[in-house]
């Protein structure tokens, strides 16, 4: 049985590998363009997935509203950028402010969503929290669609074409370059946060304690020292909050599609 599995795995990899290599041999430049485009997309998804896995790892909940928070980050960035753009501010300042606002707002939304929809359900069946998350996701989608618009919106590019990058711009644009570099930096920062800081350690320690068989609600009632409890609780709510920082960042400066397509977030982007 095991050998069949290995054989199947190798066969699939081989077939895919064959086509990849064939593309590479036919047209190397085109191949690299596609590859880097994929890498850019992939790095954004990777950041979203990081946020996802942090929430999942800590509260053991498939957070259906994750994609919506992402959408709100993008919307906030878009609104801030277009308002400041109409007021005629400097592009660099706009870019920074859009990022800052996107981070702060999606962080705040994550925090609020957790307080409303997930926190009261911590001692309930896991599926209940899942449905609550689905409800929240529906609510947020429709809230933005009603308050703003369900249509495509143009997002003006905030990243200039770097002068020094011009010779390589035909392979990878400076926007894509910025996205990839930002992703790498943010991932390193996240790694440091998780590994070395106190809040990161509190987050990592949670899933173990969260096991329902060993972890009863007595824990919250004050059987442990106050300071420890505080860290655990704040880690829980901040898990919702902290992770937003990282993936909203590239989204805020992601003009490569040059549109914020709200329909793209319908109906369960988080899965894909």
Residues that bind another protein (CB under 8 A): 56, 62, 72, 75-76, 79-80, 82-83, 86, 101, 105, 108-109, 112, 116-117, 120-121, 124-125, 127-132, 134-144, 146-148, 153-154, 267-268, 271
The residue (of 105 and 231) whose beta carbon lies closer to another protein is 105
The residue (of 223 and 227) whose beta carbon lies closer to another protein is 223
DSSP state string for 209-261:
HH-TTT--THIIIIIS-HHHHHHHHHHHHHHHHHHHHHHHHHHHT--SS-EE-
Q: What separation in angstroms does the CA of 79 have from each of 86, 115, 120, 223, 252? A: 11, 26, 32, 47, 11
The residue (of 126 and 195) whose beta carbon lies closer to another protein is 126
Work out how close the CB of 27 gets to another protein at its nearest, in angstroms, rounded to a whole number: 27
Q: Which residues contact 99 (CB under 8 A, 6 or more apart)?
A: 77, 248, 249, 252, 253
The residue (of 147 and 208) whose beta carbon lies closer to another protein is 147
Judge contact between 25 and 221, C-beta under 8 A.
no
The residue (of 83 and 192) whose beta carbon lies closer to another protein is 83
The residue (of 47 and 61) whose beta carbon lies closer to another protein is 61
Dihedral Cα 210, 211, 217, 223, nearest 10 deg: -70
Work out how close the CB of 169 gets to another protein at its nearest, in angstroms, rounded to a whole number: 27
Work out how close the CB of 139 gets to another protein at its nearest, in angstroms, rounded to a whole number: 3
Phi and psi at 153, nearest 5°, equal -125, 140
Q: What separation in angstroms does the CA of 185 have from each of 40, 49, 72, 189, 193? A: 14, 16, 23, 6, 12
Work out how close the CB of 178 gets to another protein at its nearest, in angstroms, rounded to a whole number: 23
Work out how close the CB of 260 gets to another protein at its nearest, in angstroms, rounded to a whole number: 11
Q: What is the Cβ-side half-sphere exposure of residue 66, based on CA atoms within 13 angstroms?
A: 28
Work out how close the CB of 165 gets to another protein at its nearest, in angstroms, rounded to a whole number: 28
Q: What separation in angstroms does the CA of 150 have from each of 75, 145, 197, 228? A: 12, 5, 41, 45
């Amino acid at each position: 049985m095991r050998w069949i599995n290995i054989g199947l795995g190798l066969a699939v990899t081989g077939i895919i590998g064959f086509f990849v290599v064939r593309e590479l041999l036919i047209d190397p430049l085109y191949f690299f363009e596609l590859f880097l485009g994929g890498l850019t997309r992939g790095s954004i998804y990777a950041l979203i997935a990081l946020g996802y896995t942090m929430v999942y790892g800590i509260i053991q909940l498939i957070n259906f509203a994750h994609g919506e928070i992402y959408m709100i980050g993008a919307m906030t960035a878009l609104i801030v950028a277009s308002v400041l753009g109409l007021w005629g501010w400097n592009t660099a300042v706009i870019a920074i402010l859009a990022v800052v606002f996107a981070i702060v707002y999606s962080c705040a939304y994550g925090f609020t969503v957790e307080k409303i929809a997930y926190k009261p359900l911590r001692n309930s069946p896991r599926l209940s929290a899942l449905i609550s998350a689905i409800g929240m996701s529906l609510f947020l989608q429709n809230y933005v669609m009603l308050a703003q618009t369900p249509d495509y919106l143009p997002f003006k590019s905030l990243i200039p074409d770097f002068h020094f990058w011009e010779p390589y711009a035909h392979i990878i644009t400076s926007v894509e370059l910025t996205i990839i570099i930002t992703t790498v930096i943010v991932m390193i920062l996240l790694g440091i946060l998780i590994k070395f800081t106190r809040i990161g350690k509190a987050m990592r320690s949670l899933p173990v304690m969260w096991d329902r068989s060993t972890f009863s609600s007595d824990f919250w009632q004050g059987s442990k020292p106050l300071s420890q409890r505080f860290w655990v609780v704040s880690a829980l709510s901040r898990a919702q909050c902290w992770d937003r920082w990282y993936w909203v960042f590239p989204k805020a400066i992601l003009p490569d599609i040059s549109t914020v397509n709200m329909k793209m977030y319908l109906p369960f982007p988080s899965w894909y």
